[in-house]
Structure 1
Amino acid sequence: MASNYDPYIRKPYELYIAAAWFVATATSFAGYIVLPGGKSMMIPWLCFGFMALQSAIKGFNLVGRGKVGEMLTFMDVEKLMELVKPEKMWFGWGFDWMPIHTQRAVDYMLSGAKINHDQENPGSPWIHGLNTGKEKDVLIPLKSLEGHTIMFGTTGAGKTRAYEVMVTQAIHRGDTVIMIDPKGDKELRDRMELECKRAGRDDSFLFFHPAFPKSSVRLDPMRNFTRTTEIASRIASLLPSQTGGSDAFTAFAFRALNLVAQGLLETGKRPSIKQLRYYIEGGAESLLVKAIEAHANRVEPNWKEGSAEPYFTKAKAGKAKKMETITNPDWLATIEWYRTTMSNGPNGSEGIDGLLSLVEHNRLHFSKMIASLIPVLNMLTSGDLGELLSPNEDDTRDSRQIFDTSTIISGKHVLYVGLDSLSDSIVSSAIGSIVLADFASVAGMIYNSGKKPGRISMFVDEAAEVVNLPFIQILNKGRGAGFQVVMATQTLPDIVARLGDEARARQVVGNCNNLITLRIKDGDTQQFVVETFGQTYIKTVQQNISSAVNSAENIINYSGNSGQSLSFGEHDLFPQHLLGHLPNFHYIASIAGGRVIKGRLPIITH
């Protein structure tokens, strides 16, 4: 059995044999020419030449294995679109990774050869050559992508170029495309705008970037909701918390936001981040009075001239019940009338009742409880960012378009959201989280309605900077609303650090049926990846040599033996440490259903 074992990649010993046969060929040829009766050397000469050629071919074949992985391919979009098949996503060239490739990789490493020959370029191209140098187009069914995809890759490994390949095809397919890019990669943004023009979707491209407010569209991340609690949770989720949002300060901030949002809706106004900040920071007294008046006008149109008149008379005489933060007599009368005649009754409003308790809360204690909320609201409403995230539809001087996630999806737009994380990582993370929360709300609406608007391709780069609970909900239930998510991050610990819990981080990656890995260095991430790929069995040749001398009986009594055996052992389907040796733009992927692919990507040119 061991005699049939021949490593796929090893030193080309056949070249040494070929050299010996070549010497024999040359010698016999010389004899054929020079010696008398040399014609008798013709047959040996031809036989030796044939053996030399056969050994040389086999030897050079061994030398050439792995060279295909050294290729760096550039491709224009026209060629890319020719390779795309219906209901498939083209994702470079490669082959299905099988146990035989694991065997060949282990053999190569055991041979003592250098894993990386080129110190100028990171990675080991020979990994891609383990399929005898053969590769074919990698076509992934779009149906498989409905299960969402997570992509790992260290800095410079090729995540952005991978996104270019995927985003380009999504735009030409006519998908709604959302790209959340914390870094704000200009090449990726330009690629998306260019492909919209190529696909005849010039008006579909939308650009949002806090660092470029003049050329950015305005987004209203508070427009879509089914319950006011959704509005409150989008802001409250940004607060620092040691207990996942369940501590007293976060809970108090959530309640305050929710009550202010309800008060705004009572007055017929849609909540915005600016309005929430105004009433949280400056006090909700005026909002309470407006909410009571709006509610009373609906329930009892003539309330001021009727049941409330005695309260106004009493207040003007200075006999109204005093309040810590209100001195206006009319306000005091309005509040006292509501408290006496409507509060907690059939004609009352739970939202107004809650807002009233908020206004009556001790102001000093209130300020302490929202101390962490005020900075969050300030950073989302300061300067140009306030105009971008809290657009005023009545401002005729601002010609920038206003969009929300619902109109983006219904209009099949292509949205690029740059977050400028290099300049301000805290603000960029907050923006990304709010936008994702809004998309989660719309996904829920679509799911409940049962009417899918078509495929929605969402790409989230550096996902560890923006991932939150609403994003987990998109991964959980977004498929039913037509969402296909591709998220990228450098390491698994990045997500753990963001969510503060390894179990929750594994919940995020566990909701992704597809895994794409470029070069990664982190050991924990490598371990997770090889666990996903699974195990296989490989052959191992063991050589045993022993000797013994029994000098007690006879000094020449010497014995020795040698043997060779072939055994099978369990091994990772893809060797873990090779994940740190993938060249740039090379990947190993696990697709829904258990298919494992080794592939390489081109660089898309303009």
Structure 2
Amino acid sequence: MSVSIGAAGICLLSPSTLMMTPSVGYTSAAVLTAFAVYRFIQGTRVTRYQRNLKRLPRFEMSSRQIPCYRQHLYLGQGFRWGQHHTQRLKDTMAPAFAKYTRPSRINAWFREFERRIEHTRLGFLAELTSKDHPLNPVRPYPAVGGNPAIHAVELNEKEVLLAMSERVGHTLCMGTTRVGKSRLAEILIEQDIRRNEGPVIVFDPKSDPGLLTRMYMAAKRTGRTDDFYMFHLGFPEISARYNAIGNFSRITEIAGRISGQLSSEGNSAAFKEFAWRFINIVARALVSLGMRPDYNNILRYVTDIEPLFNQYLDWWLPMNGDEGWMEDINAMTADAERQYRSNPRMAKHANPRTEALRKYVEQMQVSDPILHGLLSALRYDKTYFDKLVASLLPLLEKLTTGRIGKLLAPDYFDVDDDRPIFDWTQIIRKRGIVYIGLDAMTDTEISSAVGNSMFSDLVSVCGSIYKHGFEHGMLEGKANVMPKVCLHADEFNELMGDEFLPMVNKSGGSGMQITAYTQSRGDIEARLGNTAKARQVEGNFNNLIMLRVKEKETAELLTNQLPEVEIAQIMTVSGASDSSDTESSVDFTSNTQDRISMLRVPMLEPGHITSLPKGQAFCLLDGGQLWKVRFPLPVEDDEDMPENLQALTREMDKNYHTAENWWA
């Protein structure tokens, strides 16, 4: 470039020196200047490429700046990975190029200097040299870890987009703790709220205050605060209320949602089946009496079935009893009272009338299945029955104790309680925005039980939508309308059970778009307790976003789906040989060769996944297309939240400590 500029200057100022006419000199000066500019651009690209191998340019974006498209979902900035990127990444690992990838000696010296003087009177110098500012020539490298060269192998970044038509195939995001999963979730949730094509439901077991704040702000910016619901087990006093078993398509779902939390391993399977049957008996009786099932009344009647038996017969006998049944019951009750007084040990029930009702119904030989179920439950010995439901009662007591009990079993007729009550059908119809904080760090078992019940309820609603449409039963409702339900499940392995399999496998037909976030494949397998089921879940996610992971097996979920590519390998061969011919003037010969051979290697290796910097990922989208993407760093929005949510997030911050500001 310098030679071209110098020659252009001579041609322009003194063309006669080069024996040129002025016109030829000016033309030559223009050509040489253009060539110098071309070489300057090339040199700039090389310099930028080398600089990026150590430090990528800062990439930040506020919530308002996040793009939002109707037909595509924005993931971040990146490029489609190809064979030449694998070639470049292999080249950076050669020892001869270590100076381009390792920190410079000057930078290392200043970091050592800062450590030495940080507790001395010269500590202010350490603060100056350690500031991450463009004007600081020795500023430290970003504390994102990993290998920045993985993304630096391509200079031309562009927006990485996922077609909305592919979202119904569901998306799985994997990454170890604190590498950017929450930031990715915020980017995707922001777009789903702004797009307003359906409800946005977010399950957050660990209760991240930043995620709650950004969800509310997104709802506020789009004018949808009336559609925002916050359900939080840790703060029931300001949380919306939800009855996990109050809405169902089939009555057997109630027993499945509750007993699904019980262990089914070994001998526990038989007790789980008994618990399912007993809950089903109670639920059927409650529904027949016109009562909405909830955890409180299920616990009440599981503990003592006698009052429910009496209530059911008081409702059933006037419609099905023989003429004069009331007199017969009164007479039999009087006999039972006399018997109980004369020999208290013969008392089988707390109320003599229960004994009279039981005997009367047994004489009728009725065929009512609900009544038969109540009779069979009533015949169990109390000690034997307590053993059968020993695992069920502690679970129900945990779900109904204290303020959480009123949260999960709301009183629909309490006009003094202004906390909203929601259900999934209502949320889907009004395109609501729901944040569900399960407070898993306080009580893992309750958070898992509630989240699992919500999943089961949502599966049921999806099945109803698939069959009838979400406006089924409404005046002039259309049966064929399918909503786009955007479900984001952080740490979804803590929430999932057997009911998650049909959700991820079949719910796409009802408009469900699941984005699940977890740390490793082992988390899914540990939760389900079955390798085959874990692989079944993984196989139903068409899109895969892989951040940094620590397990080779997890990284292989991505790398095993990629083809092998050919890269060039340069080999230097040198040799020398002497001559045994005494009459020859040649004593020895030498040769040096550079051989280029083609080598087949995997497009990506598990080691590349485990060395990703924070905030970066590989994405397998659109049927196997591999993209390298990095997510924008957040810029705080200066907007106000309601006072009650501010107090809530302050309390959440006290109990939720993370490396959320890793980019700083």
Q: How does 1:157-176 map to 2 (within 5 A)?
A: 157-174=179-196, 175-176=198-199
SS at match of 2:70: coil
2:59 counterpart residue number: 73
Residues 210 and 384, structure 1, Cα contact 8 Å, conserved in 2: no
Q: Which deviates more, 383-392 or 87-96? A: 87-96
Pick from 245, 248, 252 the counterpart of residue 229 of structure 1: 252
Residues 74 and 605, structure 1, Cα contact 8 Å, conserved in 2: no
Q: How does 1:263-282 map to 2 (within 5 A)?
A: 263-280=285-302, 282=303
- Whole-Å separation in 2 of the counterparts to 1:327 and 1:379: 27
Residue 515 of structure 1: how far off its partner (Å): 0.7
- Whole-Å separation in 1 of the counterparts to 2:40 and 2:425: 66
- Whole-Å separation in 2 of the counterparts to 1:285 and 1:414: 42
Q: How does 1:436-447 map to 2 (within 5 A)?
A: 436-447=455-466
What amino acid is aligned across from residue 539 of structure 1 in structure 2?
I
Residues 463 and 487, structure 1, Cα contact 8 Å, conserved in 2: yes
Q: How does 1:133-172 map to 2 (within 5 A)?
A: 133-172=155-194
Residues 307-335 of structure 1 deviation map (CA, whole Å, 9 limit, x = unaligned): 75664464455399998741422111111
Residues 177 and 458, structure 1, Cα contact 8 Å, conserved in 2: yes
TM-score between both structures, scaled by the size of structure 2: 0.77
Residue 75 of structure 1: how far off its partner (Å): 2.1
Residues 95 and 599, structure 1, Cα contact 8 Å, conserved in 2: yes
SS at match of 1:151: strand
Residues 538 and 570, structure 1, Cα contact 8 Å, conserved in 2: yes
Residues 544 and 620, structure 2, Cα contact 8 Å, conserved in 1: yes
2:627 counterpart residue number: 597
1:305 counterpart residue number: 326
Residue 218 of structure 1: how far off its partner (Å): 0.5
Q: How does 1:133-532 map to 2 (within 5 A)?
A: 133-174=155-196, 175-242=198-265, 247-280=269-302, 282-300=303-321, 304-305=325-326, 308=329, 311-312=332-333, 314-316=335-337, 318=339, 325-342=348-365, 345=366, 348-450=367-469, 451=479, 452=481, 454-532=483-561
Residues 346-367 of structure 1 deviation map (CA, whole Å, 9 limit, x = unaligned): xx32122122212212222222
2:648 counterpart residue number: none
- Whole-Å separation in 1 of the counterparts to 2:535 and 2:593: 47
Residue 297 of structure 1: how far off its partner (Å): 2.9
Distance 1:565 1:305, change over 3 A: same
Q: Which deviates more, 319-328 or 538-547? A: 319-328
Residues 410 and 453, structure 1, Cα contact 8 Å, conserved in 2: no
What amino acid is aligned across from residue 557 of structure 2 in structure 1?
F
The number of residues matched between the two structures is 568
Residue 513 of structure 1: how far off its partner (Å): 0.7
Q: Which deviates more, 54-63 or 220-229? A: 54-63
Q: Which deviates more, 368-377 or 409-418? A: 368-377
1:105 counterpart residue number: 89
Pick from 564, 586, 591 the counterpart of residue 616 of structure 2: 586
Distance 1:605 1:561, change over 3 A: same
Distance 1:233 1:560, change over 3 A: farther
Residue 66 of structure 1: how far off its partner (Å): 6.3
Distance 1:41 1:373, change over 3 A: farther
2:112 counterpart residue number: none
Residue 295 of structure 1: how far off its partner (Å): 2.5
SS at match of 1:211: coil
Residue 390 of structure 1: how far off its partner (Å): 0.6
SS at match of 1:541: strand
- Whole-Å separation in 1 of the counterparts to 2:440 and 2:569: 52
- Whole-Å separation in 2 of the counterparts to 1:323 and 1:279: 23
Residues 271 and 389, structure 2, Cα contact 8 Å, conserved in 1: yes
Distance 1:449 1:306, change over 3 A: farther
Distance 1:89 1:50, change over 3 A: closer
Residues 162 and 622, structure 2, Cα contact 8 Å, conserved in 1: no
Pick from 92, 116, 122 the counterpart of residue 145 of structure 2: 122
- Whole-Å separation in 2 of the counterparts to 1:523 and 1:324: 65
Residue 487 of structure 1: how far off its partner (Å): 0.6
1:540 counterpart residue number: 568
Distance 1:364 1:92, change over 3 A: same
Residues 68 and 194, structure 2, Cα contact 8 Å, conserved in 1: no
What amino acid is aligned across from residue 536 of structure 2 in structure 1?
Q
Residue 389 of structure 1: how far off its partner (Å): 0.3
SS at match of 1:469: coil
Residue 590 of structure 1: how far off its partner (Å): 0.9
Residue 505 of structure 1: how far off its partner (Å): 1.4
1:572 counterpart residue number: 602
SS at match of 1:86: coil
Residues 506-558 of structure 1 deviation map (CA, whole Å, 9 limit, x = unaligned): 211211111111222222211112123x122122325263758799999x997
2:136 counterpart residue number: none
What amino acid is aligned across from residue 541 of structure 1 in structure 2?
Q
SS at match of 2:548: coil
Distance 1:279 1:107, change over 3 A: same
- Whole-Å separation in 2 of the counterparts to 1:462 and 1:228: 30
**Percent sequence identity over aligned pairs:** 32
Residues 168 and 192, structure 1, Cα contact 8 Å, conserved in 2: yes
- Whole-Å separation in 1 of the counterparts to 2:454 and 2:422: 12
Residues 339 and 346, structure 2, Cα contact 8 Å, conserved in 1: no
Extract unaligned runs of 5+ from structure 2. Answer: 104-140, 470-478, 638-664
Residues 172 and 541, structure 2, Cα contact 8 Å, conserved in 1: yes
1:13 counterpart residue number: none
Residues 459-483 of structure 1 deviation map (CA, whole Å, 9 limit, x = unaligned): 0001121111222221111111111
SS at match of 1:230: helix
Residues 567 and 600, structure 2, Cα contact 8 Å, conserved in 1: no
- Whole-Å separation in 1 of the counterparts to 2:392 and 2:589: 84
Distance 1:112 1:504, change over 3 A: farther
SS at match of 1:197: helix
Q: Over the residues paired in the alignment, what is the CA RMSD in angstroms?
A: 3.5
Residues 203 and 490, structure 2, Cα contact 8 Å, conserved in 1: yes
